[in-house]
Amino acid sequence: QAKESGRNTYAFYTPSLTVIANEKLDLEARLRHALTQGEFLLHYQPQLDIQSGGLIGCEALVRWNNPQQGLISPARFIPLAEETGLIVPLGEWVLRQACSQARAWLDAGMPNLSMAVNLSARQLQQPDIVARVAAILEETGLPAETLKLELTESMIMGHGEEVVVLLQDLKALGIRLSIDDFGTGYSSLAYLKRFPIDEIKIDQGFVHDIPNDSNDNQIAIAIIGMAHGLSLKVMAEGVETEAQRDFLAQHGCDAFQGYLFSRPLPAEEFTRFLSGTGPLQS
Ligand code: C2E
Ligand code: MG
Ligand code: MG
Ligand code: MG
């Protein structure tokens, strides 16, 4: 029966727009609730100097610890949080939490590592974003140079001169700026020099097939060469194999993060790793 009716069976299984809209409303309400109930937490992925192998910092990545479903990945709730604007209070919580964790590690005598935090477009669009970042640094007592904000190409491209000024104001706080998922957006290398950024992160999509895909190899080499020509650092993300790391290191990449060294870790696990009292589970 199902086979014979062909396309109609497909329509039968497709949820109506009302169902989809209701599911969205439901998720939005649960996200709001989660924020007030403290159900979000951060994991921290180590970032290493690719030449020396030394630890240089970490990236804070948000997770939702749902009482029913357990840990939920950001891919499943960040898009809706962006759409609804909930990313603004959530992102602010992430920034504060990451900064106070970094401050706590400093207070515990750990080496001064950099703390990278993802910023969403909605957050950057807030008229008082610079003051908000400044207030969180002040409140947590984190030295500005420890903080690195990750932006994406689409957040800064095509928005004219006011974004340049905004990024300059952020930089004036003493923080660093990084372009995340580089190569997936406008993929224009030339525009980079207009922006006061410190680092670009080669998207894991390009890293994945290194060194077997010669196109990806060439793209990585081009990104590294161009970034260095503009005095920017290059971080590779999603490095899973020694062959990937070795290729990137050989072509001058500066830093990497990825499962090869470690998955993102809960704060306690990262702390044990930092203090040298615990093995690194990856
Ligand atoms: P992203 O900022 O590009 O983060 C890198 C993602 O790659 C993370 O996924 C990380 O766990 C994953 N990853 C790291 N190493 C490897 C590897 O070796 N192989 C593979 N396959 N994946 C690796 P995660 O934590 O699920 O985060 C996904 C995305 O969600 C992030 O991509 C970022 O865009 C967004 N996100 C996460 N936390 C936040 C946040 O606090 N605020 C905002 N606005 N976005 C966030
Ligand atoms: Mg990121
Ligand atoms: Mg990325
Ligand atoms: Mg990514």
The DSSP string of the chain is -HHHHTHHHHHHHSPPHHHHHHHHHHHHHHHHHHHHTT-EEEEEEEEEETTT--EEEEEEEEEEEETTTEEE-GGGTHHHHHHHTTHHHHHHHHHHHHHHHHHHHHHTT----EEEEE--HHHHTSTTHHHHHHHHHHHHT--GGGEEEEEEHHHHTTS-HHHHHHHHHHHHTT-EEEEEEETSSS--SGGGGGS---EEEE-HHHHTTTTT-HHHHHHHHHHHHHHHHTT-EEEE----SHHHHHHHHHTT--EE-STTT---EEHHHHHHHHTT-S----
How would residue 39 be classed by pLDDT, with cut points 50, 70 and 90?
Answer: very high
- Averaged pLDDT, 209-221: 96
Region 191-214: what's the mean pLDDT?
93
For ligand 1, atom 34, name the residue with the nearest CA: 118
Determine whether the shortest distance from the Cβ of 97 to ligand 1 is under 6 A. no
Looking at per-residue pLDDT, the higher value among 170 and 280 belongs to 170
ipTM for the predicted complex comes to 0.97
Whether 177 lines ligand 1, by a CB cut-off of 6 Å, is no
Rounded to the nearest integer, the mean pLDDT of the chain is 91
Cα 118 to averaged position of ligand 1 atoms, centre (Å): 9
- What ligand is nearest to the CA atom of residue 240? 1
The rounded Å distance from CA 237 to ligand 1 centre is: 9
Q: Does ligand 1 have an atom closer than 6 angstroms to the CB of 244?
A: no
Q: Is residue 137 predicted with pLDDT exceeding 90?
A: yes
46 touches ligand 1 (CB under 6 Å): no
203 ligand 1 Cβ < 6 A = no
Q: Mean pLDDT lowest for which of 6-20, 42-56, 179-193?
A: 6-20
Would you say the CB of residue 259 lies under 6 angstroms from ligand 1? yes
Predicted confidence at residue 3, as pLDDT, reads 45
- At 111 the pLDDT is 86
pTM, two decimal places = 0.92
Residue 74 CA: nearest ligand 1 atom is 30
Q: Is residue 2's pLDDT more than 50? A: no
Ligand showing the shortest atom-to-Cα distance for residue 116 = 2
Q: Which of 65, 72, 83, 118 to probe ligand 1 with, by most ligand atoms within 8 A of CB?
A: 118
Q: Whose CA is nearest to atom 41 of ligand 1?
A: 62
> Could you tell me what percent of the chain has a pLDDT over 90?
76
pLDDT beyond 60 at 5: no
Does the beta carbon of 101 sit less than 6 angstroms from any atom of ligand 1? no
Does the structure show a pLDDT above 80 at 175?
A: yes
